[in-house]
Amino acid sequence: MRPYLLIGLITTIMTACQPTTRENNPLLTTYNTPFEVPPFDQIQHEHYLPAFKAGIEQQNQMVDQIITSTDSATFDNTILAFDQSGELLHRISLLFFNLMSSDVDDSLQSIAREVTPLLTRHADNLALNEKLFKRIQHVWNQKESSTLSPAQKRVVEKYYMDFVRNGALLPNDSQDTLRVLNEKISMLCLQFGENLLAETNQNFLLLIDNPNDLDGLPQAIRETAALEAKQQGHEGKWAFTLQKPSWIPFLQYATNRQLREKLYRGYFMRGDNDNANNNGTIVTEIAQLRAQRARLLGYSTHAQWVIEENMAEKPDNVTRFLDQLWMPALNRAKNELTEMQQIAKNEGLNSPLQSWDWWFYAEKLRKAKYDLDEAELLPYFELQNVRNGMFDVANKLYGITFNPMNNLPVYHPEVETWEVKDEDGSHLGILYLDYHPRAGKRPGAWCTTFRDAQSQNGHRIAPVVSIVCNFTKPMGDTPALLTWDEVTTIFHEFGHALHALFTDGQYKRTAGVVPRDYVELPSQIMENWASEPQVLRQYAKHYQTGETIPESLIQKIEKSAHFNQGFMTTEYLAASYLDMAWHDIDASTKIIDANTFEQEAMTGIGLIPEILPRYRSSYFSHIFDGGYSAGYYVYIWAAVLDADAFAAFKESGDIFNRDLANRFRQHCLRDSGEDEGMTLYRKFRGADPSVEPLLTRRGLK
């Protein structure tokens, strides 16, 4: 849900350094930039405080107009008026919090700490406004006897349930308690994120000064590590960080087992180091406070409150779904472990493999079974070629084109900007691409917006979309060469971007707003095209010679499609179970220690010690700082949909089938939010999704 729509409204305020007026604050005027993108080159930190204040005041004034009206509540004077309130606040929130993730510094963090409770209170003031709720309730009570369109009825229902689910029916004393809980939770989530950023980007560095400790590492990885060390003031040495492009290759190739353990421990102990950034107490407090809030709102658990709005509907359905996949995945992972243990034994290692050994011996297993070394692929996955390849896929599917823009302000010099045009040449939106790690960027990859798409009075407001990643950096004369995981990641995030670019709808509350377990369908389906041979031949070109990737390598990629799927599915499912464990507790549960709670949850599902959950609790930002609480399962829930949807293209004999693409664009992207997720999917597919394509794709049958 969008920030100005009651839930999770988190923005920031600090004391201004100097007086700022509406006239000289670029955040408070129409952006005088091409396509009205944010004027990053004009915005200063001192602009945020007055802008947030103005945004709050503007929305309060609009709400006051609604509740003081002497006319009977109608869709137009109440629902539509509220839907159109808060636009300024939403615009500022998107801008600020996108920068909090992609280009943060101490000053922005200070702003966030001060304004978070302020904006949480503002959200509560809206959600618990009795007069506003009564007018919304009046429209809701009359909706069936009115002449409202189906789209309008849906907006009424969504707003009514927003208010009910966020405490509008509670007595005053319970509402006071709810306000306290919301503020505590929001501040703890903010603290969690700050701690994790410090633990990832500041508090660990594996520094190597003995070249023998680099044995096994490809030359490109060594050169990148040398450059990292130089940039951090350690010229002549090699540095490895907790960013994926750094630590994963080290674990894959470094023969020094002790150093592999040291680096991996640095990664999986983030937020669990008994220092100022420890997240153990924070996660237990968040989970318990969420459980208390759920009970106050009439739900047995936080998971029940969250999943009620999802396609899964209730926690038991999620657990049953995960259980269907767990044993096939775990059994496959155990088989993978047996094969790797034999390789290790043959090489003279007689002790059991540990978690920090998995990547190293999995790479040896891939070489042994498929004659494929990931280092062979790197020269063919130059970043710009991969980017152009995904643009080409979108063009073939939807007819859209991407034109580079050099005159748009950006928040960091590394950011690329593109104008996206529809098939008829009309402006569709703006796309920002931000590829590489830096100190002020949180880990991972994500897609977000600086402006959402919507239609108002017959005029479409074009979106401004941003993809942010942490991919392998270019080095000297060598461009950025992506791993296969990074290739599929950018295709994934591009799927989110297409969803944002294609979204349309009259009402902010529903345009593009989908259940959490639907939102990964548009992203994950795009991953399928990345590995299709005819797509690979288009973008996989050797960065030095321009040679198309050899057919022999394409065949190896196809044959190795099931490689390590047991491990990857198991670590993911383990994290999904861990998320559910934290959020399916009731308010009476007392959690003494986060590590003990986590270990009991993992023991309960039978997770083997050689595999850790993809995210341990202390750095599980998806659920403690990212909006996926009781919802990390959604990736594999949506994987059923995306595998089934892509099967439709394969069955048609044309992976660029324009008829199917147009139906997918209409029902699953453009109109998303206009109806229930499964209803829209059926309109595209003509049937319910089958789990068989997913099981086949992952080799779990």
| pLDDT tens-digit map of 116-166 | 888 999 999 999 999 999 999 999 999 988 899 999 999 999 999 999 999
Mean pLDDT (the chain) is 94
| C-alpha separations of 272 from 189, 201, 357, 420, 518 in Å | 16, 15, 21, 43, 32
| pLDDT at 10 > cutoff 50 | no
Whether 93 and 4 have beta carbons less than 8 Å apart is answered as yes
> Per-residue pLDDT averaged across 161-176, rounded?
97
Q: Which of 106, 57, 108 is nearest to 85 (CA)?
A: 57
**CATH class (in words) of the domain with range 378-559:** mainly alpha
Give this prediction's pTM.
0.93
pLDDT, residue 18, reads 40
Q: pLDDT-derived band of residue 342, with 50, 70 and 90 as boundaries?
A: very high
Q: Which residues are catalytic?
A: 493
Q: What is the pLDDT of residues 188-215, one digit of tens each?
A: 999 999 999 999 999 999 999 999 999 9
pLDDT of residue 12: 29
> Helix axis angle, 484-502 relative to 244-253, nearest 10°?
150
What pLDDT, on a 0 to 100 scale, did the predictor assign at position 6? 43
Q: Tell me the residue type at 328.
A: P
Query: Order of strands across the sheet with 446-451?
Result: 401-405, 416-421, 427-434, 464-468, 446-451
Is the pLDDT score of 9 beyond 80?
A: no
Q: In this predicted structure, what is the pLDDT of residue 152?
A: 96
Rounded to 10°, the helix 244-253/358-370 angle is 70
Confidence of residue 699 (pLDDT cuts 50, 70, 90): confident
Residues found in the chain:
701
Give the pLDDT band of residue 458 (cuts 50, 70, 90).
confident
Specify the pLDDT at position 162.
97
**What's the rounded mean pLDDT across residues 662-666?**
98
Whether pLDDT at 222 is above 80: yes
CA separation, residue 510 to residues 144, 156, 158, 213, 503 (Å): 19, 10, 8, 55, 10
SS3 labels along 470-515:
CCCCCECCECCECCHHHHHHHHHHHHHHHHHHHCCCCCCCCCCCCC
Cβ atoms of 148 and 156 closer than 8 Å: yes
- Given this model, what pLDDT does residue 16 score? 30
Three-state SS string over 357-391 comes to: HHHHHHHHHHHHHHCCCHHHHHHHEEHHHHHHHHH
Residues 6+ apart with CB under 8 A from 679: none
To the question of domain 26-127+129-165 being in CATH 1.25.40.10, the answer is no
Residue with tokens 């509406």: 22
Q: How far is CA 254 from CA 251, 257, 271, in A?
A: 6, 7, 25
Domain boundaries, the chain: 26-127+129-165, 204-268, 378-559
Q: Do 26-127+129-165 and 378-559 show the same overall fold?
A: no
pLDDT at 22: 66
pLDDT at 17 over 60: no
> What was the pLDDT predicted at 457?
81
